[in-house]
Structure 1
Amino acid sequence: MSANRWLATGNFFTSYREEQRIFFTHLDRLVFVAVLVLLFAWPLFFELSNKYMLVVNHTLIAVVAVMGLNIVTGYAGLISIGHAAFVGVGAYTVAGLATTLGDSHKLITHAWPLMIVLSGGMGALFGAFVGLPALRLKHLYLAIATLSFQMIFEWVIHFMGFFNQGQTIYIGRVHWLTGEVGRSSHYVFWYYASLVVVVITGFGIRNLMRTRFGRCLIAVRDNDRAADAMGMHPGLTKVYAFALAGFMAGLAGALHAYLYRGVGIESFTLHHSITYLAMAIVGGLGTLHGAFWGPAAIEFLDIQVEHLSAWAAQIFPAQGNLATALRPFSFGLVIVLFLMFEPRGIANWWRIARSYVKLWPFRY
């Protein structure tokens, strides 16, 4: 590494400790702090409508969920098509307690950080259970096993009276230091709460990949037999990958329940599992950056397609139903194009741009 870490540009390391730094240079740390300050400060100066604040909050919640999916699919190389069910487990943990204790019970409204962590723990429990087939199954067979969990989850929610047969279960308004969070500050409050969860979980994953447990995930993904020969336990690694993914999904589900002040099965269907997988693919599997770029890109695409559909409905006849078909068509087209031309996702564009800036003007 260069003696002056403000001017260092390449990846010249002289020790493993240098290679394991979270921030390779002082400039990296400065840029990160500046972005973090910007994310926390902009709501104080710019006011968005509730519609767009909801989109921003939904994107942050999707980031948390996709970070979990990235652990199991990107880092561990295990296909999961039932990730929305794990998100639903977290959401219905809050909803189940709201049904039992009442939607305005103090445990729900005052101890909401504890409820979010509890929902993550429940998601991890179900994730570890669903990950048990990974001890014997691989590839398509494991994908079918996770798909089965998605179908079982939807069936249980639809047919159990405790969960209101999939209909909305309401959650009371939470309380903070200043009292109850009112309607006017609801979306801003949950923006900050979701952002704090994103930052904490992002640092957690970044540090996980610096440990032997994170390296085990990559080793098992690349070649599980070679990993076994080197003393790792591929089966245990796969199970805790599913458990971590379930924990992250549970956190996202609890945030979803509090943000929408209710839980319904329509938010945790197979369609949403495919959407999470698409976000991970578009963002870039196996990269922490991809978990941020993917949800942002898909949510931005949804907004633009919504505007395009409104314009198309005015131009083209309703019989053609073109406006309705634009959203699934664009969604599928984006996935196919990324798989064909950029399988490493938007994160690869970021890597190329960042490398160009770091290497110019070729200091060494």
Structure 2
Amino acid sequence: MSPDFISLAFADEPVPVLTQPLSELGIYPESTAAAQVVSLNDAAISPQVDSLVEEIPVRVGDNVKVDAVLVRLVCKDFELEQARHNAERQATLARLELAQWHLKQSELLATQRTLPIEKVQERRSELAVLRGDLAAHQARIKTTERQIAACAVKAPFAGVVTSRLVAVGQYVGRGTALMHLLDTSRSEVSAQVASSDITALSEAKTLAFEHEGKKYPLKLRAVVPTIQTQTGTQEVRLDFIGPPSQPGSAGRLVWQSPNMHIASDLLVKRGEYLGVFTLKDDLAHFHPLPGATNGRPASIGLSPDTQIIVSGQYSLNEGSAVKVQSLNKDIGREGSATDLSRPSTSAKKH
């Protein structure tokens, strides 16, 4: 027998392989991203008036309710201003009553043709001016009432006092931070996720915030539609489904892909694509997986009963004849039955 015939006969021999159904190989990998719990209300409390600090009835760590007094300011000047405006209003009322009487008398005399009509018009103008003065006094009184109410700086929401920034006797102006108030009842998770993972995150059926070994179930609330130029990430915001973690907690956002994946060590490269070899009619068929990358599980959309070649695939090409071996038989080539162990991945099978 000629050497060429022997070589050709050897090349036509089926390649021994091992196969497993995709249902046994499919995994649903978990992905993670750094995350932090943030409060929806974390405010620096400031006064609306300029005055001296008279009293600070709360301390750091105190839990306060809505409208609880946080700081009292000296209010004497505003009270005196209000008293002056009240006195001016009373004087204007007295002049207004007199002007009304004068107008009536002028109109009576005008009907008797003993007073020129111009005098009647003057009385009407005087009455209109006094009514305007009265309205201005009432507006000033309302302003001082608001200033007096603002002397008691109140909590805009229920929360905990995290810092005190002023002391009794200190003069403060509008916009000066008096203390910080943190809302512990309304919080959410903020995370920076790679833009390429946003679709998988949006489709994930399970989302959780992991902190100190404990997982808190989440639901996706929003994806900020801007990509950070330096990191290529997008911010996502998620709501807690159950009891939340404390604001400021740093941990990981964990989500599990809803799509079946296959482990990276089963992938082979043919041409420009990574993919897997499937078995059909004793022939190997290359199934490319667009988007697959080295070292990462790849999404696969084949039927769960598809037979995937898990050993001997590195020497195959499209249409190669194969012979399926039993799992307990050493094939004697790369990817043999003794080499079936694969690196563990942080993925779960459904």
Query: Do the two structures share a fold, i.e. TM-score over 0.5?
Result: no
Aligning the two structures, in what range does the TM-score lie when normalised by the shorter sequence?
Answer: under 0.3
TM normalised by structure 1 equals 0.19
Relative to its length, the structure with more helix (as a share) is 1
Q: Which has the larger radius of gyration?
A: 2
